[in-house]
Chains A and B, each alone.
Chain A
Amino acid sequence: MTDKTILINNGNLGRQGKTTIAYTIYKTAIESFKYVTNDIENASIKLADHVKNGDLFHFPVGTDIDMDFDGHIIFDFGGKPDDRLLEVADFVDVIIVPIRYESDSELEITVRNINTLIEVNPNIVVVINNTDPADIKLVTAALKFNPAFKNIKIFVINHSKYVRRLANDNNTVFEVASLNKADATRLNKTIIPQFKDLFRHLEINI
């Protein structure tokens, strides 16, 4: 498989699901990814405990990203202003912009963030994440209202109580499904196929 480099970011918007998506890719992909974060302390998962030694790289804001850029890499960047962000955005194959819609505020900020990111890298994917089902179609339609976003693929990952297991128990939804048949039945109806759709688009094997 060609080296795959992914940035997961929505500007300085926090709590949008960046680490959930990043970690789920890291744990579920057959390929081994390096996991690069700029804010290990505020990640929703204890990355140091669950990302393998040698896979995890932490470069706080203000330091150089001093690593070899070979192989598959996930950059879980954001939440804090970071002047290295656009350089990373330019470098990667794809940028995943997660949005957790709670009000039009997230929508407006996301549009402005994408406007900046798309200038350095047009390969952007939006993930509408952990959002009230009643709002998902509206958010999709609203984003597509911007003609500059016509080539942006939009994916959905439903709100699910299982997602909080990642922060609480450090189990991805795939791991939860493998541990319990009843959970697997529920997860295989919505959220796992949604992750699989995203992985398929990213050409990530699981």
Chain B
Amino acid sequence: MSTMSEAKLKKMQAKVAEASHEKTDLTPVKTLKKETAQEKRNVKILCNVRPSEKKAFIDLIGRKTESDAVRELVLAFIETNK
């Protein structure tokens, strides 16, 4: 690396260091939320399984998406344990 590059990098690093203590306010505009008529599927439930367990599950769900298949299990669990 040339001396000029090193000098440029030092300058950039100083600016990064200075900016490191600052955050941008990325939500300055407020949206008035309306009541949504229907709850959306927009939260996740996660679990860790072994690779072989995942493969066995995926092999059984056919054309369903993984998300739809897991949701079926969640809904069945809720129904059974109400």
Chain A contact residues, CB within 8 Å of chain B? 1-3, 11-12, 61-64, 66-71, 81-86, 91, 104, 107-109, 111-113, 115-117, 119, 138-139, 141-143, 145-146, 148
B1-47 at interface with A (beta carbon < 8 Å): 5, 8-9, 11-13, 15-20, 22-31, 33-34, 36, 40-42
A91 touches B26 (CB 8 A): no
- Cα A198 to Cα B36 with chains together (Å): 36
Given A81-B26, A145-B16: A70 touches B31 (CB 8 Å cut-off): no
Given A70-B67, A143-B16: A104 touches B24 (CB 8 Å cut-off): no
Q: List 12 A-B contacts (CB under 8 A).
A: A2-B67, A3-B65, A61-B29, A64-B31, A64-B33, A69-B41, A70-B68, A104-B15, A107-B12, A111-B16, A112-B22, A146-B16
Closest 10 CB pairs of A and B: A142-B12, A111-B19, A69-B42, A83-B27, A145-B13, A116-B23, A112-B24, A108-B19, A115-B23, A146-B20
B72 contacts partner chain A, Cβ-Cβ < 8 Å: no
Q: Which of B18, B31, B41 has the largest number of chain A CB atoms within 10 A?
A: B31
B26 touches A67 (CB 8 A): no
Given A64-B36, A68-B41, A115-B24: A3 touches B66 (CB 8 Å cut-off): yes
Residues in B neighbouring A117, C-beta threshold 8 A: 26
Residues in B neighbouring A115, C-beta threshold 8 A: 19-20, 22-24
Chain B contact residues, CB within 8 Å of chain A? 5, 8-9, 11-13, 15-20, 22-31, 33-34, 36, 40-42, 65-68
A11 touches B5 (CB 8 A): no
- Cα A115 to Cα B13 with chains together (Å): 16
- Cα A60 to Cα B67 with chains together (Å): 28
Residues in A neighbouring B24, C-beta threshold 8 A: 11-12, 109, 112-113, 115-116
